[in-house]
Amino acid sequence: MTGERNNTTVTKFILLGFSDLPKLKSVLFAVFLGTYFLTVTWNLSLIILIRMDSYLHTPMYFFLSNLSFLDFCYVTSTTPKMLSDFFQKLKFISFMGCTMQYFFFSSLGLTECCLLAAMAYDRYAAICNPLLYTAIMSPSVCVQMVVGAYITGIFGSLIQLCALLQLNFCGPNVINHFFCDLPQLLVLSCSETFFLQVMKFLIAVIFGVTSVSVIIISYGYIVATILKISSVKGRYKTFNTCASHLTAVTFFFGSGLFVYMHPSSNKSLGYDKMASVLYTLVNPMLNPLIYSLRNEEIKDALKRYKKKRVFSHCHC
């Protein structure tokens, strides 16, 4: 099944991963394992901190805790399999396992697109309509926005999955990637993939461009409002609440749109793999840091947690 195309139906794929870099095998495994460990630790810690501290029970941190949960699931959908493959001579994955991995990975990615747009709207409401903020971003509205993001993301991925399952794969079955992603699967299919190529592009436009448009419009109003603030210190303090979100958006959409908005070809797969490392491993690790390092409320919450720990030990 790894040779020329024939009439044999492919039942499993071989993931090449980073086998083209044998001399760096140990280094890459250590780096990816460390990155995965840090990603899981930081995102789960941020979720727990937000849950425990009542001062952080606001719309912004409700969205942030969901972003951390998405990043945790996102990295877990691909990295454990990739790490285990470092020790396998033949890195097999079943056809159904491959399509399911893509479905979960895609669902989480599309959901994150919607959630980042919701977070931009939250910042718009907080800065441009501060007096109505609690009414605009009520707890029920926040829950509806998050649930809507999940439903929309799953639906968008399900459409692609149904179309993907209609394709025939008759060999070769070697995927030049470390997980099952749509561009690589389209290259391997012996069916006509034009319809799914168009669908992939449209999904990228609908989710990517629409989300980015919402973010740009929201920040257009935010910048206009900030410019009306008379003091430089006030402008800096207000914009600082948005800086983390803008940084996360730039990293996520920059790498994601590069992969999903250009036609799939064998020549582009190497670049896709490197870009995929950014949005599957690096972004989920950096997000909790981006939102925490310059965030005084997170730092204050950590101080309160440490004081509680010290007090509880002294009390005992």
- Quick: pLDDT tens for 106-148: 999 999 999 999 999 999 999 999 999 999 999 999 999 999 9
The dihedrals phi and psi of 12, each to the nearest 5 degrees, come to -155, 160
- Evaluated on CA atoms 116, 121, 127, 131, the torsion sign reads negative
Amino acid identity of 16? L
Asked if the structure places residue 50 within a domain, the reply is yes
Query: Nearest-CA neighbor of 62 among 133, 141, 129, 155?
Result: 141
CB 181 within 8 A of CB 102: yes
Band of pLDDT at residue 197, cut at 50, 70 and 90 = confident
Q: Tell the residue number behind the tokens 């009390």, with chain if given.
A: 315
CB 112 within 8 A of CB 249: no
Band of pLDDT at residue 32, cut at 50, 70 and 90 = very high
Asked if the structure places residue 7 within a domain, the reply is no
The per-residue pLDDT for 265 is 54
Q: What is the mean pLDDT of residues 14-43?
A: 89
DSSP-based three-state secondary structure for 172: coil
Asked if the structure places residue 187 within a domain, the reply is yes
Asked if the structure places residue 126 within a domain, the reply is yes
What is the percentage of the chain residues whose pLDDT exceeds 90? Answer: 45
H/E element, 14: strand 12-15
Query: For the chain, how many structural domains are there in total?
Result: 1
CATH of the domain at 294: 1.20.1070.10
The per-residue pLDDT for 3 is 43
Band of pLDDT at residue 263, cut at 50, 70 and 90 = low
Domain hosting 133: range is 12-315
pLDDT for residue 298 is more than 80: yes
Asked if the structure places residue 1 within a domain, the reply is no
Per-residue pLDDT reduced to its tens digit, 300-313: 888 887 777 665 65
- Evaluated on CA atoms 110, 114, 117, 122, the torsion sign reads negative
Q: What is the mean pLDDT of residues 172-198?
A: 86
Point out which residues pair with 175 in neighbouring strands: 15
Asked if the structure places residue 5 within a domain, the reply is no
Asked if the structure places residue 250 within a domain, the reply is yes
Q: What is the mean pLDDT of residues 59-79?
A: 94
What whole-number distance in Å separates Cα of residue 115 and Cα of residue 118?
5
pLDDT for residue 259 is more than 80: no
- Of the ranges 32-41, 68-77, 268-277, which one carries the lowest mean pLDDT score? 268-277
Q: In sequence order, what are the residues at sequence separation of 6 or more whose Cβ sits closer than 8 angstroms to the Cβ of residue 29?
A: 83, 86
* Measured CA distances, 113 to 9, 75, 215, 256 (Å): 35, 15, 10, 10
CB 160 within 8 A of CB 196: yes
CB 38 within 8 A of CB 88: no
What whole-number distance in Å separates Cα of residue 258 and Cα of residue 275?
8
Amino acid identity of 221? Y
The per-residue pLDDT for 2 is 45
pLDDT for residue 78 is more than 80: yes
Point out which residues pair with 15 in neighbouring strands: 175
The dihedrals phi and psi of 253, each to the nearest 5 degrees, come to -75, -30
Asked if the structure places residue 167 within a domain, the reply is yes
